[in-house]
Structure 1
Amino acid sequence: MKDIFCDVEVIQSFDQINHIMKLKEEDTNQEISIGGIPDDAILLKLDIDKKEYKRKSMYLKRETPIIHKGCDYCLIIPSQQTIILFELKSMKPKEKDYVNQFVASEIFIKYCNELSNYINKSSDCFSFKRILLSPKYNITFTSSKKLQDISTSDKCGKSIEIKSPGFPDRIRLEKLLT
């Protein structure tokens, strides 16, 4: 799927020798290192703070809610048929906002996958994981072996599974996938 994305700012590099990626939120100076990243992983930055990147399509109205929302990062792992959406939030994340970001990002990435499948005459199918990184959940969960389940429903009543490890300085990918 990597071949359909612009590599100027969207495709992010990561340390393939040590299998570590760093996710950063420029506005809040938050940063996390995630280890155990597979060699075939593709890291995308979905929330680039430039006008031309905020708009997913010129066909769709800019002022329509949700359409042009997106998570901060997307990690595609073809060998595991998994896509992980990451949203980095402050101490007071607003549920409505991050749920809409997860939903819009998942719809967009599904579209990109379908487009890639058509172009490459393939039939790749991925499962999605949603990870919210917020210091709001640090007190209880950064030292725990479990992720906090903060699942909820979207505005249509569909269940949205969301997990959070808090916002540790570093974490292993395996923990996020449990």
Structure 2
Amino acid sequence: MHFLVLGATGHTLTLFVRSRSKVPTKVADNKKVAIIEGTLEDEDTLDEVSRCGADTFVSFAGPPVGNQGTHYRLKTLTIAGSLKALTNGYRALIPKLVSQGIKRVLVLCTPSYKGTSDVASFKWRLGEWTMKAIPSTRGQYGEMIHVGAYITTLPAEDGIKWTLFRVGGLTNGEDAPSERNFLGQWK
């Protein structure tokens, strides 16, 4: 994926990545870019990341296809796997970031996470059912539901302003218009 950042002049960027070798050389060699390699399960790396000096935390992370990292109930069927790696990673990292002064958190989620202002439609329910029904996407679905549930409970009294941006079907395809709204409220 390619991201455009407006207003980045004079700012620095810290990338927290699993594999530094996947970062393009042009980015890795930039003096305004710091790279921290590690995982959300590594406490020492999370401590290092939390002390990077950032003002805002933005995450586009998501579970890989076939992830079985979430335990959730689907009517009478229970899907169990390893611990919720992404959700637990956020639970470990975000309090560390807050302790270092981060005030803004923006996290990618799924449209399947239900917001209080959402209006469910047949199309939405069909998409949700499909994610639950396909074995290779069950873990992804459950993991992202847990991510949404965690982020939306971040306490305002800690001074955190959070945004959970729920998008589906991100690809490297052609640009298309987007609109900010709640589920079921598009034109």
Judge same fold: TM > 0.5, yes or no: no
Larger Rg over CA atoms: 2
Higher RCO, 1 vs 2 (CA within 8 Å, ≥6 residues apart) = 2
Structure 1 or 2: larger strand share?
A: 1
Structure 1 or 2: larger helix share?
A: 2
